A and B are shown apart, each in its own frame.
Chain A
Amino acid sequence: METTLAVGKSIPKKESWDKVTGAAKYNTDFNEPGLLHAWLVTSLYSHAIIKSIDKTKALEIPGVLSVVTGDSMPRLTGPVLEDRPPLAIGRVRYFGEPIAIVVADSLTRAKEAAGLVYVEYQPLPTVNSVKEALEEKSLLHEQLATYRHQKANEIFSLPGTNIANHIKIRKGNMTRGWAESEVVVDSVVKLPQSVHAAMEPRNARAEIKPDGKVIIHTSTQGPYDVKKDLSYYFNLEESKIVVLVPLVGGGFGGKTTSQLEILTLLASKAVHGRPVKLVESREQDFTSSPGHLGLEARVKLGATREGLLKAIEITCFVNTGAYTDSGTKMTRAMAADCTGPYNIEHVHGDAYCVYTNHTYVTAFRSFGRLSHTFAIERAMDKLAFALGIDPLELRLKNAIKPGHFTPTAVRLNSSNIGNLSACLERLKKLINWNEGIRIVTAHNKVRAKGISCLWKTSSSPPNATAGAIITFNRDGTLNLNVGAVEIGMGIKTALAQILSEKLQMDINKINVVMEVNTETSPKHWKTVASMTGFMVGNAVLDAAEDVIKQLCRTAAVVLRCPPEVLQVGGGRVFMKADPDIFVEFKNIVCGYEYPDGSSIGGEIIGRGNFIMHHLLPMDPETGRGRLGPAWAVGAQAVEVELDMLDYNYKILKAATVIDAGKVLNPKNARGVTMGGMCMGLGYGCREANLYDSGGVRINPQFRTYHLIRFGENPEYLVDFVETPQVDAPYGMRGIGEHGIIGMPAALANALSAAAQVNLDFTPLTPEAIWQAKKEVMS
């Protein structure tokens, strides 16, 4: 189909002018008289028994209405494995864990009173690393065996240890694989936990109406999950829960699961349903709310002398922190894609989800692939070195292709895998690979390049759904209402583009409902996994078909012809054979009125939906299964200039080529990709949660947890290959996360080449490189 009207056009975001004038409203921008304020009391210890909580002094502060503690909700929660009390019960397992909520008539008083809640702790040994967890220095969850979970095929915990989940991949025959391998490399990497650092700190407010209806205003990526969770945890009918989400100030996965929504509802319950607002400070957002996983992984990779990959053995230990949240799922996702985008016949993979006394983790842009890719791509570079083959050529030689099978035994075709080789070829030119990997440029200065491939599919439940509703205004303009949340990636505009294209109609005549209201917006699984364009986009197309059918039906009566000869475009329904015979939308969308005043037709309301298909859970013994509908693949490169005297370096260039299927909005796709790249480089060069020996977070502010700032970013080279995914809207693939995935790996590969030392960790600070060099030389 011709895609000329809206698809493929750089249409500015629908909410642009609201965002540049300060008119755009985020959840904390709303205030109302009578609103109460909450402040969290959080743990000062990483692991301790709570001996007592004294609220007396706090309750004496005028205006303080309640101090809510764990006894108000004596049950555990979690999106997969239910292991986390929303407020600590008798024990804390990480520094920053919420212990109590103070509710007061002003924020000042709530905060003042929070300082007067006295918690007596009895410290327990801290499990401060994966190593200490595996050594069982202390057990975090003695009751692991009794924890509930609703997905039997996802959780394989090892009670009596700190391992919450163990996922296995067994493919091919390892004995044969190693026998066929003439060169084998063994590589170990270690990556720290980090934070999402969305600019809008996490927050929520709740109230309970006199009829029992629960109203939650929140900054979330998953409003329907919040509704489902609250219904489940509080034993409420879903019809009694409304979740409202305005624009969200960044998510990156950090706003996908329920936390503050549960806490604010508890707070509101404690004050007879009055509205309560809870906004985390930046320090709380960094320590109390979930962050990004840490990973320790070992990769053993075997290949023939010609560089054909034959066998891989990979073991991943995911540091999930004190609770699992999405950690178990990310462990599984990592295992499912464990070879990286390479064709390897013999695969032995183990991924473990490990508890430590760190802040718990949740989904983070790439759902674990960022870390896992680092492990694979470092091994690939080491293999290339061992073989004496160019690293890019090695990747080209083994790039996964249609006809190959994934680690979970999904047979690939051009639609579901795209074209990695084309991405690599394009990347090679973009980054000028042929000039050489390491070039001495000046006295003590070296310029070097590193690359990484990437792939990712989603981990959506096999029954994940999306819906869309289209209504019309009397003037023929229309409204699109979907359950996708606008967190910044321009999804509402992309959906409007899809609708505009389908109806061949000016996008300015399409109004998109920006907010999500679970009472009136059709459900969408959640705005995650780069799946929203695919899922909601398909629902929008379905709704558009429905609208076209209805428009043609009414128009057929008006134009006195069968509906089949009609077509929709330009805000009109017209005869295919003679476009001069037409009726305008405005004359039929709310019913057609004959000259004598009698009418037919009625209001046109389009509805569309989409449900995932053919997804299969993974087999517990082999991992066979299908987690997502398709992959997006890509290749990335980084060019650095390293000072060999003091190990200062500059990231000169960063390049990304992704097979996007079809680029819906070029400027937006470039922007989202560059944003991911910048975030990935930040993680590669400087971001890490730091803990002292007692497990206390020592860098919970932007002042000590550094992001890349303006001007520290490299020159970006971004390009796309377009191999359509045939079951997706206009062939598009979800690429919202992908820019981040290979960046830390490419950076480490570039710096390893430059410094001529293996750098198998992040963050890659000048000191860390100096240290690694020193160790090798001594």
Chain B
Amino acid sequence: MIPFNFEYYKPATAREAVDLFHTLQTRDKNPMYYGGGTEIISFSRLYQLYPKAVIDIKGIPECNVLEFQNDRLVIGAAKTLTQLQESNLFPLLSWCAGRVADHTIRNKITLGGNICSRLPYREAVLALLVADCEVVIQRKGETRTEPLESIFNQSLHLDTGDLLLQVTVNKSHTCLPFFSTKRTANGDVNYPQDRIGYPVLSTAFMKNSGRIHAAFSGLCPFPFRSHELEEVLSDQEMATELKLAKAVSYLPAPILTDIDGTAAYREFVLRNTLARAVEQLEGVNCIC
């Protein structure tokens, strides 16, 4: 039960949604775009969010696309994590998104919602970061496409009222070899998901033309991809022990300590995982 009321709008076009947002904004409605709504509902129940208006984006056609268009996979922001898994057009994304929350909730959580989540984990982002994906954003009067990495720094940086419409991925990147892990306080999570919980460490590794891409969640208070770290991991000459020691020094923030694990334990898990990733991706090629 949400102890306050809000207005609910479900626009039919992206342009309307953005216009509506700005109108509501000027009326002090503190509007929020609403995808699956799981976070808005559960946070509002505890007064951790207080929107006076929500704009449901599930009626916007662009947000409901899930298909290859020419050489890119286009994923609408309103597609649920389950739909990504069931279609399995981008296996690494299935893995990363498919270990978020639990299966039933993933029938409701949308890709856009996971990317823009207020929780520090946002594991679907890991696959998108390592695959060099692009995002399509609706602004007042224009639609823009940008590389995700250029506007994702700890979180997705959008101007007020900007709406994430779609994510697109180079088709050839959807079938690159990958390695992905998730560890919770209670142990590993395999795929299909066999354990539920926030990550002590969640990872996505992808190998593109001999270079390892790597993104992490649970390690710092935000998901990130580190090019310096990738440099080290991809170095054919360097001994694994040295790689691990160096890699750990390239983290963008101190390692997290919380109820799921201490920083020391997370580092231990990270080292083990990096070692496994390097071993797994040794000499593997495209999975298409």
Are A and B in contact, CB atoms below 8 Å, in the complex?
Answer: yes
Instruction: Tell me the smallest distance from the CB of A340 to a CB of chain B, in Å.
Output: 29
Residues of B within 8 A of A646 (CB): 268-269, 272
> B3, A706: Cβ atoms under 8 Å?
no
Contact of A717 with B by CB under 8 A: no
Q: How large is the interface on B (under 10, 10 to 19, 20 to 34, 35 or more residues)?
A: 20 to 34
> A648, B188: Cβ atoms under 8 Å?
yes
Check A686/B185 contact, CB under 8 A, given A115-B3, A115-B47, A767-B262.
yes
Residues of A within 8 A of B2 (CB): 108
Q: Complex: how many Å from CA A686 to CA B259? A: 12
Binding-face segment, B9-17, B56-64, B88-96, B192-200: B192-200
> B194, A765: Cβ atoms under 8 Å?
no
> B3, A111: Cβ atoms under 8 Å?
yes
> A107, B265: Cβ atoms under 8 Å?
no
> B195, A712: Cβ atoms under 8 Å?
yes
Greatest chain B CB density within 10 A among A646, A690, A698 is at: A646
Residues of B within 8 A of A765 (CB): 185-186
> B1, A111: Cβ atoms under 8 Å?
yes
Contact of A770 with B by CB under 8 A: yes
Instruction: Tell me the smallest distance from the CB of A139 to a CB of chain B, in Å.
Output: 29
Residues of B within 8 A of A766 (CB): 185-187
Check A706/B196 contact, CB under 8 A, given A108-B1, A112-B3.
yes
- Selected from A112, A283, A686, A699, the residue in CB contact (under 8 A) with B4 is A112
Residues of B within 8 A of A283 (CB): 46
**How many residues on chain A are close to B (CB under 8 Å)?**
27
Check A704/B3 contact, CB under 8 A, given A649-B187, A685-B186.
no
Q: Complex: how many Å from CA A704 to CA B47? A: 18
Check A699/B259 contact, CB under 8 A, given A648-B188, A706-B186.
yes
> B186, A686: Cβ atoms under 8 Å?
yes
Check A767/B196 contact, CB under 8 A, given A108-B1, A115-B3, A690-B259.
no
Number of A-B residue pairs with CB-CB distance less than 8 Å in the complex they form = 52
> B185, A698: Cβ atoms under 8 Å?
no
- Which residues of A from 719 to 778 have beta carbons under 8 Å from B? 765-767, 770-771
Residues of A within 8 A of B3 (CB): 108, 111-112, 115
Q: Which residue of B lies closest to A682 (CB)?
A: B186
Residues of A within 8 A of B269 (CB): 646
Contact of A1 with B by CB under 8 A: no
- Which residues of B from 262 to 277 have beta carbons under 8 Å from A? 262, 265, 268-269, 272
Instruction: Tell me the smallest distance from the CB of A377 to a CB of chain B, in Å.
Output: 23
B181-216 contact mask (Cβ, 8 Å, vs A): 1 or 0:
001011110000011111010000000000000000
Contact of B261 with A by CB under 8 A: yes
Contact of A429 with B by CB under 8 A: no
Q: Complex: how many Å from CA A648 to CA B198? A: 16
Check A709/B195 contact, CB under 8 A, given A648-B187, A698-B259, A704-B259.
yes
> A767, B265: Cβ atoms under 8 Å?
yes
Instruction: Tell me the smallest distance from the CB of B43 to a CB of chain A, in Å.
Output: 12
Instruction: Tell me the smallest distance from the CB of B218 to a CB of chain A, in Å.
Output: 13
- Which residues of A from 91 to 109 have beta carbons under 8 Å from B? 107-108
B41-78 contact mask (Cβ, 8 Å, vs A): 1 or 0:
00000110000000000000000000000000000000
Residues of B within 8 A of A711 (CB): 194
Q: Complex: how many Å from CA A650 to CA B194? A: 12
- Which residues of A from 698 to 713 have beta carbons under 8 Å from B? 698-699, 703-704, 706, 709, 711-712
Q: Complex: how many Å from CA A200 to CA B198? A: 24
> B265, A770: Cβ atoms under 8 Å?
yes
Q: Which residue of A lies closest to B272 (CB)?
A: A646
Instruction: Tell me the smallest distance from the CB of A137 to a CB of chain B, in Å.
Output: 24
> A107, B1: Cβ atoms under 8 Å?
yes
Residues of A within 8 A of B259 (CB): 690, 698-699, 704
Q: Complex: how many Å from CA A704 to CA B2? A: 21
> B1, A771: Cβ atoms under 8 Å?
no
Contact of A20 with B by CB under 8 A: no
Q: Complex: how many Å from CA A287 to CA B44? A: 20
Instruction: Tell me the smallest distance from the CB of A597 to a CB of chain B, in Å.
Output: 62
Instruction: Tell me the smallest distance from the CB of A251 to a CB of chain B, in Å.
Output: 25
Residues of B within 8 A of A152 (CB): none
Contact of A199 with B by CB under 8 A: no
Check A645/B265 contact, CB under 8 A, given A111-B3, A686-B186, A765-B185.
no
Check A771/B187 contact, CB under 8 A, given A111-B1, A704-B259.
no
Q: Which residue of B lies closest to A107 (CB)?
A: B1
Q: Complex: how many Å from CA A646 to CA B259? A: 19
B234-277 contact mask (Cβ, 8 Å, vs A): 1 or 0:
00000000000000000000000001011001001100100000
- Selected from B1, B186, B197, B272, the residue in CB contact (under 8 A) with A645 is B272
Residues of B within 8 A of A648 (CB): 183, 187-188
- Selected from A703, A704, A770, the residue in CB contact (under 8 A) with B268 is A770
> A709, B272: Cβ atoms under 8 Å?
no
Q: Complex: how many Å from CA A645 to CA B271? A: 11
Instruction: Tell me the smallest distance from the CB of B122 to a CB of chain A, in Å.
Output: 16
Instruction: Tell me the smallest distance from the CB of A110 to a CB of chain B, in Å.
Output: 9
Residues of B within 8 A of A115 (CB): 3, 47
Residues of A within 8 A of B272 (CB): 645-646
Q: Complex: how many Å from CA A583 to CA B19? A: 85
Residues of A within 8 A of B1 (CB): 107-108, 111
Q: Which residue of B lies closest to A705 (CB)?
A: B259
Q: Complex: how many Å from CA A649 to CA B185? A: 12
- Which residues of A from 11 to 40 have beta carbons under 8 Å from B? none
> B197, A706: Cβ atoms under 8 Å?
yes
Greatest chain B CB density within 10 A among A698, A699, A709 is at: A709
Q: Complex: how many Å from CA A712 to CA B189? A: 11
Q: Which residue of B lies closest to A108 (CB)?
A: B3
- Selected from A706, A712, A767, the residue in CB contact (under 8 A) with B261 is A767
Instruction: Tell me the smallest distance from the CB of B262 to a CB of chain A, in Å.
Output: 7
Q: Complex: how many Å from CA A320 to CA B1? A: 32
Instruction: Sort A-B residue pairs by CB-CB distance and give the 8 closest, nearest first.
Output: A111-B3, A767-B265, A112-B3, A648-B187, A686-B186, A646-B272, A765-B185, A648-B188
Interface residues, chain B, with chain A CB atoms under 8 Å away: 1-4, 46-47, 183, 185-188, 194-198, 200, 259, 261-262, 265, 268-269, 272
Interface residues, chain A, with chain B CB atoms under 8 Å away: 107-108, 111-112, 115, 283, 645-646, 648-650, 685-686, 690, 698-699, 703-704, 706, 709, 711-712, 765-767, 770-771
Given contact pairs A706-B196, A771-B265, a sample of 11 additional A-B residue pairs in the complex whose CB atoms are under 8 Å apart: A107-B1, A108-B1, A108-B3, A112-B3, A115-B3, A649-B187, A706-B185, A765-B185, A765-B186, A766-B185, A767-B185
Cross-chain pairs A/B with CB under 8 angstroms, 23 sampled:
A107-B1, A108-B1, A108-B3, A111-B1, A115-B47, A283-B46, A646-B269, A648-B183, A648-B187, A648-B188, A649-B187, A686-B186, A698-B259, A704-B198, A704-B259, A706-B185, A709-B195, A709-B196, A765-B185, A766-B186, A767-B185, A767-B265, A771-B265
